């Protein structure tokens, strides 16, 4: 979506905060959400009347305790998915701090559709050029990292070993490429029947799967409440059972309030509106599908019944029509249900029209094919006298 198209939509500060709370579920990596929040916070504080906000990678990184390489990767991801517009600017002193504009309309569309981005941003090759804020010397703004080793100087790629800060907001070192492809690859849910994970692994799980920016405080609160990692994992499993029902804030609060032995289904806020709408659509679709299945089953039963009646008619219709009234009364009294016998006793010709009586007598004749043949032979032997007795 272009800047001109975005300008047609009016997003208030409240709208933007709501989108930032909800978008984490749909983005392929939590670092994208964290950078969006950092840019919006800076924009609201210092440039709320402007369309863009200028700040360096280092300024973005300090907002949420990220490293500069992580910020660079997140910005590249956001630009690739058309969620962020970057304008490169250079001052008269050669310094550079890029300007950024969040494409709120595209974020809002993702949240309203309730569908995650289909593919994460591609991971650049090791030799590919890295997003750089400037080619000018590094002064007040951070644009290019230069590492000095002995007498050699070389540019440091953003894919170098990026150790996470102490609060555990970053994935383990040397796994950024895998994390960009699949956020759950580094910290998959612990398999059942194995030892309980460490608290650090729980924090990494909350970051990679639910997009919590700083889960350390929530995990610390749960530990102070006497919880073990298994207690927190039960809460996480419940959140998984309702994908998209709760935002990162709700999960953070529920982890903070966890207690040993507490029912993991208790203490949650109401599911968000989009989740309830999806559940309602799912129920309606299930009901419609059930009604469609029942209609198909009825039609199939009718088709099978019709085919069965035709087979019975072709095999035993002549036998039934060849019986005299007395033979028919005697046969149905002995071999058919009382209601059929009573109907034939009242009206010996009731079997001649298609319907329940004729079908049931034909079924009975099929079950007694030897008797049917005897009746047919007897009828043929009687000749004209047989016909007079009808």
Q: How confident is the model at residue 62 (pLDDT cuts 50, 70, 90)?
A: confident
Q: What integer best gives the mean pLDDT of the chain?
A: 75
- Position 12 scores a pLDDT of 85
- Is pLDDT of 212 > 70? yes
Whole-angstrom distance, CA of residue 22 vs CA of residue 13: 14
pLDDT digits (tens, 9 = 90+) for 169-210: 444 444 334 334 344 333 444 444 445 789 999 999 899 888
Ranges 78-82, 113-117, 170-174: which has the least confidence: 170-174
- Position 166 scores a pLDDT of 42
**Share of residues in the chain with pLDDT > 70 (%):** 70
The DSSP letter of residue 35 is: H
- Is pLDDT of 223 > 70? yes
Q: Which among 103, 58, 65, 108 is positioned nearest to 85, based on CA atoms?
A: 103
Whole-angstrom distance, CA of residue 178 vs CA of residue 168: 18
Burial 284-295 (b: 16+ CB within 10 A, else e): eeeeeeeeeeee
Whole-angstrom distance, CA of residue 139 vs CA of residue 104: 32
Whole-angstrom distance, CA of residue 55 vs CA of residue 63: 11
- Is pLDDT of 79 > 60? yes
Q: What beta strand segments (E) does 55-151 contain?
A: 84-87, 99-102, 146-149
Give whole-number Cα distances, 37 to 41, 87, 222, 229, in Å. Answer: 6, 18, 26, 29
pTM: 0.35
Q: What beta strand segments (E) does the chain contain?
A: 53-54, 84-87, 99-102, 146-149, 152-155
- Position 196 scores a pLDDT of 73
pLDDT digits (tens, 9 = 90+) for 352-374: 888 888 898 998 898 887 555 55
pLDDT digits (tens, 9 = 90+) for 7-49: 445 688 888 888 888 888 888 888 898 999 889 888 888 887 8
Within 10 Å of residue 234's Cβ, how many Cβ atoms?
A: 16
- Position 167 scores a pLDDT of 41
């Amino acid at each position: 979506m272009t800047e001109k198209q975005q300008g047609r939509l009016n997003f208030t500060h409240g709208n933007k905060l709501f989108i930032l709370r909800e978008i984490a579920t749909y983005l392929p990596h939590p670092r994208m959400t964290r950078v969006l929040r950092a840019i919006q916070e800076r924009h609201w504080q210092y440039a709320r009347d402007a369309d863009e906000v200028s700040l360096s990678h280092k300024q973005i990184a300090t907002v949420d305790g990220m490293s500069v390489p992580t910020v660079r990767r997140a910005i590249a991801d956001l630009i690739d998915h058309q969620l962020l517009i970057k304008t490169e600017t250079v001052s008269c002193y050669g310094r550079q701090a890029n300007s950024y504009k969040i494409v709120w309309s595209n974020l809002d569309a993702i949240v309203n559709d309730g569908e995650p981005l289909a593919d994460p941003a591609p991971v650049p090759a090791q030799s590919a050029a890295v997003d750089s804020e400037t080619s000018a010397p590094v002064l007040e703004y951070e644009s290019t990292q230069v590492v000095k080793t002995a007498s050699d100087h070389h540019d440091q790629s953003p894919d170098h070993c990026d150790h996470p800060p102490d609060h555990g907001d970053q994935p383990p070192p040397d796994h950024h490429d895998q994390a960009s492809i699949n956020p759950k690859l580094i910290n998959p849910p612990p398999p059942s029947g194995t030892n309980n994970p460490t608290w650090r692994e729980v924090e990494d799980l909350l970051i990679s799967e639910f997009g919590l920016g700083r889960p350390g405080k929530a995990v610390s609160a749960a530990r102070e409440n006497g919880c073990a990692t298994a207690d927190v994992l039960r809460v996480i499993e419940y959140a998984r059972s309702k994908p998209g029902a709760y935002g990162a804030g709700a999960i953070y609060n529920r982890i903070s309030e966890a207690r040993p032995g507490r029912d993991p289904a208790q203490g949650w806020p109401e599911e968000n509106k989009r989740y309830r709408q999806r559940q309602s659509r799912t129920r309606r679709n299930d009901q419609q599908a059930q009604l469609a299945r029942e209609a198909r089953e009825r039609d199939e039963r009718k088709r099978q019944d019709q085919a069965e009646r035709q087979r019975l008619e072709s095999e035993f219709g002549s036998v039934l029509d060849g019986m005299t009234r007395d033979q028919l009364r005697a046969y149905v009294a002995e071999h058919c249900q009382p209601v059929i016998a009573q109907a034939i006793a009242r009206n010996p010709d009731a079997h001649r029209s298609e319907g329940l009586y004729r079908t049931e007598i034909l079924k009975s004749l099929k079950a007694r094919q030897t008797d049917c043949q005897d009746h047919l032979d007897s009828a043929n032997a009687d000749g004209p006298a047989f016909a007079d007795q009808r």
